[in-house]
Amino acid sequence: MFDQAALKAQFPILSLSEKGHPLVYLDNASTSQKPVSVIDAINRYYREQNANVHRGVYGLSERGTEAFEGVREQVRHLLNARSYKEVIFVRGATEAINLVAQSWGRTNLCAGDEVIVSEMEHHSNLVPWQMLRDQLNIKIIKWPINDQGELSLDDLTGLITSRTKLIAVTHMSNALGSINPIAEIVKLAHQSDIKVLVDGAQSISHMAVDVQALDCDFFVFSGHKMYAPTGIGGLVAKQDLLEAMPPYQGGGDMIYSVTFDKTEYNELPYKFEAGTPNIAGVIGLGAAIKFIQALGFEQIAKIEDDLLHYATKRLTEIEGLRIIGTAKNKGAVVSFVIDGAHPHDLATLLDQDGVAVRASHHCAMPVMQKFNVPATVRASFGVYNTHEDIDRLVDSVHEALDMLR
């Protein structure tokens, strides 16, 4: 029998109280809480391993480098990348997308070229392409979603032209929970020699990802949504593309040799990792990967599918509540609005009961515009959430509505 209580006990923050009530944390699509194993790994690094990596010949530095590079291999294995050279450490998915836009994009795109961006994207997978548009005079083509919050491959086929160079699409929507058919999208794109960037910030902690099976050209993720620290994430990309891309930033570690006349750049993956990296963050990421792999994606899916279906059932029993995003293939995210209750007011009242949900546009304003709402209340689940958490959410919503109406 699976011990849900023992799993939840691994997360110290979940034992806290908020406004005099036990904390119910339902904002995992924004950031996940961290298990003791991750917190201890970071603490142990600073107590026992702290030294700069790649640069020292003394034991402390060499051990730190070995641990740091060991996590790169963990990421490679987690995502089934072909080589450690395809794993670039960055601050998160946002920086990874900006890296691709400014390095690959500025090298390979010219005025009139087109980048297709889905309507459900987080701003981090839209704004960098808008910035590139303003720099190069390229075009951004919107790939619309339907009323269920789904993308159509037929629609995509109609958008592709001879000038299409890249498709930027999320694996799983942070605002809707929709899971997109990435393998089919990539197959269609590659028939026309179009590259595909996949935003995996939401998917990486919820499902097994195999970048070779997906055959995507770029895959980005953030550690803080997968039980790891903030400020660490990754870009996993095909080696031939990375080899041809110029560095994104200049400085230490990304160089092989420097004179006042010229600089010779380092080999992959270090060519894209200028400056002292977030070493402790990488160590924490490694511990988070171990936590996820010990639990297993089969168990994670079982927990989160159950939570999604239970939450959907309980919430739809509330009069006047409408779920935004009803895709057939959906992750553990429920966004909703309720007649007569502004999402911000509702979330503020839920907080008085110790229930933490997100109420905003979720950095996905085009999604809100699509559904003609200013914001939604979003309950998003992690492996430590329970039916009791959802019951607390529903009870608190009823109490809030009594106050608002």
Q: Which fold has domain 40-293?
A: Aspartate Aminotransferase; domain 2 (3.40.640)
The reply to whether domains 4-30+296-404 and 40-293 share a CATH topology is no
Residues whose CB falls within 8 Å of the CB of residue 297, separated by 6 or more in sequence, listed in order:
206, 207, 208
Helix (H, G, I), strand (E, B) or coil at 32: coil
Cα–Cα distance, 179 to 165 (Å, whole number): 23
Known active-site residue 110: no
Say what angle helices 279-295 and 297-316 make with each other, to 10 degrees: 80
Q: What is the pTM of this model?
A: 0.97
Strand intervals (E) in 245-374:
255-258, 263-265, 321-323, 333-338, 355-356, 358-360
Distance (Å, rounded) from C-alpha 83 to C-alpha 87?
Answer: 8
Whole-angstrom Cα distance, residue 68 to residue 148?
Answer: 42
- The answer to whether 358 and 377 have CB atoms below 8 angstroms apart is yes
Tell how far CA 177 is from the center of its chain. 12
Quick one: tokens of 255? 């160089």
Q: What's the pLDDT at 313?
A: 98
- Contact criterion met (CB below 8 Å) for 169 and 196: yes
Neighbours of 41 (CB within 10 A): 24
What per-residue string of b and e applies to 348-364 under the rule 16 or more CB within 10 Å gives b? ebbbebbbbbbbbbbbb
- Per-residue confidence (pLDDT) for residue 55, from 0 to 100: 81
Amino acid 274 reads A
Q: What are φ and ψ of residue 234, in 5° steps?
A: -155, 155
**Which parts of the chain have pLDDT scores under 50?**
none
Catalytic pick from 136, 323, 363, 365? 363
Predicted local confidence at residue 57, as pLDDT: 87
CA gap 147, 133 in Å, rounded: 28
Surface-to-core class of residue 260, CB atoms within 10 Å of its CB (0-12 exposed, 13-18 middle, 19+ buried): exposed
- The position carrying tokens 């550690």 is 223
pLDDT of amino acid 56:
84
**Domain-wise residue ranges, the chain:** 4-30+296-404, 40-293
Question: What is the rounded distance in angstroms from the CA atom of residue 349 to the CA atom of residue 343?
Answer: 10
Peptide bond into 269 cis (omega under 30): yes
Cβ atoms of residues 202 and 331 within 8 Å: yes
DSSP 116: E
> What pLDDT is stored for residue 1 in this prediction?
66
Token look-up 């110029």 returns: 246
Do residues 93 and 233 lie in contact, with contact meaning Cβ atoms separated by under 8 Å? yes
Closest CA to 181 of 140, 152, 143: 152
CATH code at 4-30+296-404: 3.90.1150.10
Cα three-residue angle 348-377-298, rounded to 5 degrees: 120
